[in-house]
Structure 1
Amino acid sequence: MTEAELYSLYKGVYVPMHLHPPESLRYCEEFTFRPEDILIATYPKSGTTWLQEVVPLMLSEGDLTPVLTVPNWDRVPWLDEHRAILLNLEQRASPRVFATHFHHHMMNQSYFKIKPRVLYVLRNPKDVFTSSYHYYGMASYLVNPGTQDEFMEKFLDGNVMFGSWFDHVKGWINAEEQESILFIFYEEMIADLKGSVEKIAKFLGKSLSPDVTEKIADHCVFKNMKQNKMSNFSLVPEEYMDQKKSEFLRKGIAGDWKNLFTEAQEQRFDAAYKEKMKDVTFKFMWD
């Protein structure tokens, strides 16, 4: 199926209609934030699921119950997806934790007024592309990726769900409310998960004992998280995600793009990256 059949255009970017029907987008637009709210903001395939595991464990002081008994889409709901309306989020005690793939400019009026705390996760766009390529091949609500070359052109032009990676990242790193945003790299979580947990906890004003920090980091190592059926999307019916084609949580490594890209594709991607990011002074781990 085509983009016109599977996606709608919302605030200038494609969103999958199956996950983001008009009533859900309207709910998100009218949603009222609280100052204590925590928002995990990411471009798709950048580490959302990982943070949906880490943050609830911080709030539960390392008690594994919430992450082993509640699916991650209800534990840390996407504000812009169809589930949000059903979850009585207004009744949830603070601090509430949400996820979004929205660009900065897509956030609602309440967000800009309240300025809740944001954890923005960045990942090397070559790995984002690689992970997306596999994901698009197994999810029925996304347009089939076609060949790697075809999908690369769509990705670089932003003709994919949630639009351009470049625009997404630039929008958030240039946000005015920098004091309420913590930027975390997927690669630093792989290199030092314990240190990343400590960094996030500090930003959230959460005091964790060394034992609890260790427990969270141990549980959230990718291979352990991948076994958690509340987090690995194995509960999603096969008609929506065929994990026989590709697992939702696949490898969880940095640099997997090297196993996918041809030399020509690497050159094409590098040239586009250099052009689109030429005015950016922000320091990325992969540069």
Structure 2
Amino acid sequence: MAPWFEFPHEIRDVSAEEEKIIRKCVIGYTKPFVKCGKAGYVMPGAYRKYAEAIYNIKVRPDDVWVITFPRSGTTWTQEMVWLLENDLDYDAARSSPLHERFPMLEITTSIPEVAFELIKINFMNLADFQGLNEAVKYPSWKSIEEAPSPRFIKTHLPLSLLPPNLLDIAKVLYVARDPRDTMVSYYYLNKMVARGLMTGTFAHYWEAFRRDLLPWTPTISHANEAWEKKTHPNLHFMFYENMLQDLPAQIREVSKFLNKDISEVEIEKLADHLSFANFKKNKNVNNTAGDNNNVQFVRKGEAGGWKSHFDAKMEVQAEEYLNKRLRGLTLTYPTYDTGEECSRL
């Protein structure tokens, strides 16, 4: 019988001031948000009840997990991994949505409380988006626990909130991205999902992000947990920017990590399938809500896009944010145009 691990992290409500900042950027949540552990990972209040159950999901040797902070190349990596693990079966990939092939572990805890009833009646096609209809009927982690092997599991939770034996048993891929670009993409996704109901501006969103007050933040602590374990044989650490710069090279590295033999012709075909021009047209990965194309997971697929969104004040704040959080760490983020590592600003 598998051991049961006591959840080791304190979970506490955010302060009243922090709650106000968060609620300018997200809608539909009725319970107070919480912070978890020393890093203070922000999660919806529903997470408090289920943290220990998620921490104790039974890991299997043939599992493959993809872990990211939101908007860091998750979908891109999922499709790559699934195809490599399934003998490049493009027909099977085209016949089933990615969220069914590669479900998200904690999605049930992340659905706003107000949305539960709206999803059940499929308000504005919400039930079609990322399989939310099933996630409100039955906890996502229980569905995963009961799923047949091999399982492919996506999560935005950091390693410290996941089963402590995960790396000892399963293969894990972690993808990191420049936090500034992550924040911009995160903002646009929430804006699309809210469909005009989100009242917070880009400035509100940046303020919440730089203060580590959005769900799953702090992003640099999140990435650093995996970075510190990057030499573990069961962990493959990747950067989104490197995928943009040389996708075939990243496919080679991932296939090697997964112990998959793949020819150069197959690598080029997979890279073409994963190109953003094709990815944006692929409804099974760019998860639209039914026939409504207003909500799309795949947006621009770029690096450095934050430069066209930040004003001079935000640029200074971003430098301060990166400098403070990267101080004392070996983690650095690569630049897309030169392939060199960013200095710790």
2:30 counterpart letter in structure 1: E
Q: 1:28 aligns with which of 54, 57, 62?
A: 54
Correspondence list, 1:146-161, <5 A: 146-161=200-215
- Structure 1 range deviating more: 211-220 or 75-84: 75-84
Verify: 1:111 aligned to 2:136, yes or no: no
The question of whether the paired residues in 2 share the 8 Å contact of 1:194 and 1:217 is answered with yes
TM-score, length of structure 1 as denominator length: 0.85
**Alignment of structure 1 residues 10-49 onto 2, 5 Å:** 11=36, 12-16=40-44, 22=49, 25=51, 27-49=53-75
Q: CA deviation at 1:88?
A: 5.7
Q: CA deviation at 1:27?
A: 4.7
After superposition, give the CA deviation of every residue in 1:131-163 in whole Å (9 maximum; x if it has no partner). 01112212239x947233322121011110112
For 1:202 and 1:145, the matched residues in 2 are separated by: 46
**Residue 111 of structure 2 corresponds to residue 57 of structure 1:** no
Corresponding residue of 1:69: 95
Do structure 1's residue 97 and structure 2's residue 125 form an aligned pair?
A: no
Q: C-alpha offsets along residues 51-101 of structure 1, whole Å, 9 cap, x if unaligned?
A: 11111111222221232111111111112223435746544233x221110
Cα 1:6/1:233, change in 2 over 3 Å: farther
CA contact (8 A) 2:42 2:215 kept: yes
Residue identity opposite 2:59 in structure 1: F
Q: Could you say what secondary structure the match of 1:41 adopts?
A: strand
| Aligned CA distance change for structure 1 residues 58 and 229 (closer, same or farther; 3 Å) | same
CA gap 1:65/1:147 in 2 versus in 1, 3 angstroms: same
1:206 deviates by 0.9
Count of aligned pairs: 278
- Superposed, which structure 2 residues align to 1:252-263 within 5 Å? 252-263=301-312
Matched, 1:231 2:259: no
The answer to whether residue 34 in structure 2 is matched with residue 9 in structure 1 is yes
Does the 8 Å contact 2:106/2:141 carry over to 1?
no
In the alignment, the residues of structure 1 paired with residue 230 and residue 302 of structure 2 have an alpha-carbon distance, to the nearest angstrom, of 32
Q: Distance in 2 between matches of 1:283 and 1:170?
A: 9
5 Å matches for 1:77-226? 77-82=103-108, 83=135, 84-85=140-141, 87=143, 89-94=145-150, 96-111=151-166, 114-140=168-194, 144=198, 146-175=200-229, 178-226=232-280
Identity %: 27
SS of the equivalent of 2:67 reads: strand
In the alignment, is the contact (CA less than 8 A) between 1:44 and 1:101 conserved in 2?
A: yes
Residue of structure 2 equivalent to 1:271: 320
Aligned to 2:297: 248
Higher radius of gyration, 1 or 2:
2
Deviation larger for 269-278 or 65-74: 65-74
Q: CA deviation at 1:191?
A: 1.1
Structure 1: unaligned runs, 5 residues or longer: none
Displacement of 1:10 in angstroms is 6.4
Q: Structure 2, unaligned stretches of length 5 or more?
A: 1-21, 109-134, 336-341
Provide the aligned C-alpha RMSD in A: 2.9
Alpha-carbon distance between aligned partners in 2 of 1:129 and 1:9, rounded to the nearest angstrom: 20
Q: TM-score, normalised by structure 2?
A: 0.72
Determine if contact 1:229/1:235 at 8 Å carries over to the other structure.
Answer: no
